[in-house]
Structures are given as structure tokens and as C-alpha cells.
Chains A and B, each alone.
Chain A
């Protein structure tokens, strides 16, 4: 199966991040690991791109974050741990409904039902 690259993921990244955070709070790398696991290694996202999406979600009140207590690794900086807010949960439900409708309609147009 062909990998799905960043430009195709861009419009859906925020909903995907919300879905990954539904499984529990996580830092950026852990979110990417969750996405990668669900996407069977076929999601090819430039990892830096995750953070602008997280900042947008945070500014919109859909996620909240705290710095971890201890710096990561021997020389590393601190990571931020993100979690879903109630607004984020509502937004995720809305995103799922929109996605289902999108797949249904476009699937019918191109003749490839999911």
C-alpha cells in the first residue's frame, strides 16, 4: 500500500491529533507514535508539523498542556503533555461526523464506497 504524505493529511491533522489524545494524555512524540501505530506506518508526516497543529488546538481551547516535571533524557529539554478538553471532545465528535459524511459523499462520486 502506498504511503499517505503530509499534503494529503494537512486538512485532517487536527482531528487526527484529537483522536490520538482521546486515548489519554501524551507528549508530541507519543501522539505521533499513536498515529503511526493506527496508520500501520503508512502516514508520512513531517514531525515538526505536529506542533503548529497542537498550538492551534491549544489556542482554540480544544487541548490543554503542562510541562513535564523532569527534563527528558540526559541532555534534553522538557516536553509538554497534552490532554483533551471537553471542547476538544465535542470537536472530535463533530470531526468524526464530518469525516463520515465526506467519505460517504466522495466515495459515491468516485464509485469506491468505504
Chain B
């Protein structure tokens, strides 16, 4: 049963990557990266159970904590570019 969930998560990762490649605006790519990150956390948790190695859950926990820093950085730094763009 965990294999079913893992395969579904893999397919969704591929779909998110496709959006990352296609996305006309750059924010589609940021969305793809964020979605990829959450799917990675789920994949790490599922495969940790699949392999029977429960200490691998530490990786999923670490990544769940760090995932959203990237999107916050996009918000913070893009505001600079947007602000500069409006002034020029």
C-alpha cells in the first residue's frame, strides 16, 4: 500500500516538474519548486517506511522545516526587483 502512495507521489513530482518547465511566468516555476518540495517530504516519509528504516524520518522532518524558506526568499527579493522596476 505504501508503494501505491509512492508511485502516485512520483508521478505528481513529474507533473510538477512539467509545470516548472512549461510555466510561462517565473511564478509558475516557483510554484513548481514549492510543490516539488512538499511532495519530496511525503516521498521521504513513505520510502522511509517502505525501507523499514525509521531513522530516515529525520530527513523528512528537516525538509518540512526548510521547504518554505525558498518561497519566502522569493517574496522578499522579488519585491526589490518589483520596487526597482516601478521606479525606473
Asked if A and B are interacting partners, one says: no
